[in-house]
Chain A
Amino acid sequence: MLPLNTIAFLVENKAGVLFNVSNMFRRRGFNIESISVGAVEDPQVARMTVSVYADSKELNQIVLQLEKMVDVIKVKRLDPMRSIMREMVLIKLDTVDPMAREETLRHVNAYHGLILHIDPESLIAEVTGEPEAIDEFISKTRPIGIEEISRTGVTALEKGNLKLER
């Protein structure tokens, strides 16, 4: 399988930019694994993080095609060794069975998660971590009975004085 890469980039914070970015990925046949968008200090700018399965040639093309876009300001491939990558998952588990509830609590604690809501039949937990850790957490809780899941996609920052500067 192709390696999973993370690319962070700054874009103009305006209508249509997310469409243009995802349209470029679709058109050129690059497969987005996850994408996250959010505001930064400058209200006119948004930061996107995309993770994508690609070989190095493809990854190079992705970066160049992004750089070519008028509304894309700055692009960087993130080196996993020099970056902090995080993703959050919200998960709703079937916890009618008290044993299930207990097991859920154990897993959530092990992954430093939070219990956000408890109902008689189910419970919602939040876990944040590296995407692989989220995968792990999900596979561990699967036997309990997952009712619903929502992942944010990866967001990332580089360590030290490395920056996605304009």
Chain B
Amino acid sequence: MSGSKAFVEGLKRENVDIMFGVTGGALLPICDELWGSDLRFVMARHEQGAAHMADGYARALGRVGVCLATSGPGATNLVTGIATANIDSSPVVAFTGQVPLSLVGTDAFQEVDIIGISASATKYNIQVRSPSEIPLAIKSAFHIASTGRQGAVLVDIPKDCQIDVEDIEFPDEVSFRGYKVNLEPNPREMDWAATLLSKARRPVIMAGGGVISSNASAEVIKIADMLMAPVVTSLMGKGTVPSDHPLFAGLCGMHGTGEANLLVSDADILLVVGARFSDRTTARLEDFGRGAKVIHIDIDRSEVDKNVETVTRVIGDAKLALQGIIERLAKLSYEPRANGDWIKKMNKFKKQYTPPERPNNPHMRAPAIMKALRKVLPRNALVTTEVGQNQMWAALYFDAYAPRTFFTSGGLGTMGWGFPAAIGAKAARPDVPVVDIAGDGSFAMTENSLATAVEENLPVIVVVLNNRMLGMVAQWQRFFYGRRYMAVKLGEYPDFVKLAEAYGAVGVRPETIGEFEKAVQTAMDDNLTTVIDVPIDPEENVFPMVPPGKGLRDLMVEA
């Protein structure tokens, strides 16, 4: 069998039915094999988009997303997408074509060393050296991408390995001497964690993306209820606890809610689940949870004590760890009602900050747009964001009610991620509306994905919070650089309505919140790719904000 046949068969054995990609010379044999197969190939217009689509698909389903690119520039174009998926622990497998083995290393036409280039941007990568290696490479890639702390894996397939015919066997299993996934947490670590928690007076739970990966939301809510502990999330953890849960205190971090940041700062025990203490979440490290004993649950041992010192840790699957702790806690005598004052404090904090009304400003306000969007969308709609102010407004003011409904590029902050990721999410969940909450700058980076959305019938709604600015950068310039707006003004073009129309999508520009709600409703009803261009005040800031170098407590709520 040829390498290409082995490739297609290998993917089928991993239950792949869709992939996102851009073809080219070094992928021709594989693409020819895909002709007539029942695998769906979604054509992106840029490989970055293809990788983000695979990433969005993966996050929406919790299953591996697949993307493809040709050698050379195709492969380098993928890199942003792979790095974005990997740092957010999203299971993506990327395949790249490569020049024939005989030319590898000769600087041949469209040869890049994608193995070297992607080494720091992937969890693992493999270059195939013969057709018979393809099945094992695929099996390994899917196994590594989807187990343990999930991530991106790249498989590079030289063209001759796609063409040549060899005897090929398909392994049922892979094993690596150096890669063992240990899901089972250590009982003693769980004992210790439960004991500490039982003594907490001011407990706070911080839920990160790992809670979503391990499907542990129910356990987080359960333990929060048992302890009467407020729950804050990292950006990646948004959705783990429904926003309308009484113990939910919102996002923690540089653009965290007042209550989340203050609660974390005042806690005596901090139970951190599947989060990695990124600098955007902790703000000034020295001040982070200073009075708190930190208990860290994570599947990735190298994250423990990397940034924040813990008193105890539980290494393993978050769901199993929480179940174990809950079981132990139930047997211990403790008095959660003693936390009554703590809950009162949370509720007081919650009231402290609500964004001020500005009755004389003619512009629609971003927080109001987020609330209106929430009102129109069903609870199970999927939302992605771009990067910048739009992302933070979405994180702060758009309520998420369930895991795997809110997706954002948290680790890399990749502008242009949200739109193709939304298309990937739509491919995964055609049954629900999918919305990209965008900024004008970010949308411009991957707006060519409109072609894919329209041509491939993957209708998504893009809400462009259009400030004609690289708004988040401008906000920093306002606060810290004397309003010198260097390289942030985007000018009058493009006209996003016309742009949408040029691609065969629908474009609308609402002028009131009412019109905006109607536009969203229509887009859902018609199930058409729609760009809703919402003009907003270029000077609007995202608040609260912890200025760089400051601790979580030092949050600004106005300019």
Chain A positions near chain B (C-beta within 8 angstroms): 11-12, 16, 19-20, 23, 27, 57, 60-61, 64-65, 67-74, 166
Contacts A70-B124, A70-B144 given; indicate if A60 touches B305 (C-beta within 8 A).
yes
Q: Which residues of B contact A64 (CB under 8 A)?
A: 301-302
A69 to B123, CA, bound (A): 8
Interface: B119 (CB within 8 A): yes
Nearest CB in chain B: distance from A45 CB, A = 8
B178 sits at the interface (CB 8 A) = yes
With the chains together, A16 CA to B128 CA distance in Å? 13
B179 touches A61 (CB 8 A): no
Q: How far is the CA of A56 from the CA of B190 in the complex (A)?
A: 26
| B176 at the binding interface (Cβ < 8 Å) | yes
- B contact residues, total (Cβ < 8 Å): 17
Rounded to whole Å, the gap between the CB of B278 and the closest CB of chain A is: 16
Nearest opposing residue in chain B for A44, CB measure: B177
**A73 contact set on B, CB distance < 8 A:** 177-178
Q: List 24 A-B contacts (CB under 8 A).
A: A11-B178, A12-B177, A16-B115, A16-B127, A19-B116, A19-B119, A20-B119, A23-B119, A23-B120, A27-B120, A61-B302, A64-B301, A65-B302, A67-B301, A67-B302, A68-B300, A68-B302, A70-B123, A70-B176, A70-B178, A70-B179, A72-B178, A73-B178, A74-B178
Q: Taking CB as reference atom, which chain B residue is nearest A26?
A: B120
Contacting residues, chain B, for A11 (C-beta < 8 A):
178
What chain A residues lie within 8 Å of B127 (beta carbons)? 16
Query: Contact at A166–B302, with CB atoms within 8 Å?
Result: no
B258-300 near A? 1/0 per residue, CB < 8 Å: 0000000000000000000000000000000000000000001
Provide the bound-state CA to CA distance between A12 and B179, in Å. 11
Instruction: Give the distance in Å from the alpha carbon of A38 to the alpha carbon of B225 in the complex.
Output: 55
**0/1 per residue, B118-136, Cβ < 8 Å to A?**
0110011001000000000
Bound: A73/B127 CA distance, A = 20
- Chain A contacts of B120 at CB under 8 A? 23, 27
Listed residue (A19, A68, A71, A166) with the most chain B CB atoms within 10 angstroms of its CB: A68
How distant is B251 from chain A, measured CB to nearest CB, in Å?
Answer: 28
**B87-101 Cβ-contact flags toward A at 8 Å (1 or 0):** 000000000000000
Supplied contacts A12-B178, A64-B301, A70-B144, 14 more A-B pairs, CB within 8 Å: A11-B178, A12-B177, A16-B115, A27-B120, A57-B305, A65-B302, A67-B301, A68-B301, A70-B124, A70-B179, A71-B176, A72-B178, A73-B178, A74-B178
- In the bound complex, residues from chain B placing their C-beta under 8 Å from that of A68 are 300-302
In the bound complex, residues from chain B placing their C-beta under 8 Å from that of A71 are 176, 178
- When distances are taken between beta carbons in the complex, the residues of chain A under 8 Å from B177 are 12, 73, 166
Q: Which residue of A lies closest to B124 (CB)?
A: A70
Residues from chain A with a CB closer than 8 A to the CB of B119 are 19-20, 23
Distance from A111 Cβ to chain B, minimum over Cβ atoms (Å): 38
Find chain A residues with CB under 8 A from B301 CB.
Answer: 64, 67-68
> CB-CB contacts of B297-312 with A at 8 A, as 1s and 0s?
0001110011000000
Chain B residues with Cβ below 8 Å from A69 are 178
Contacts of B123 in A (CB 8 A): 70
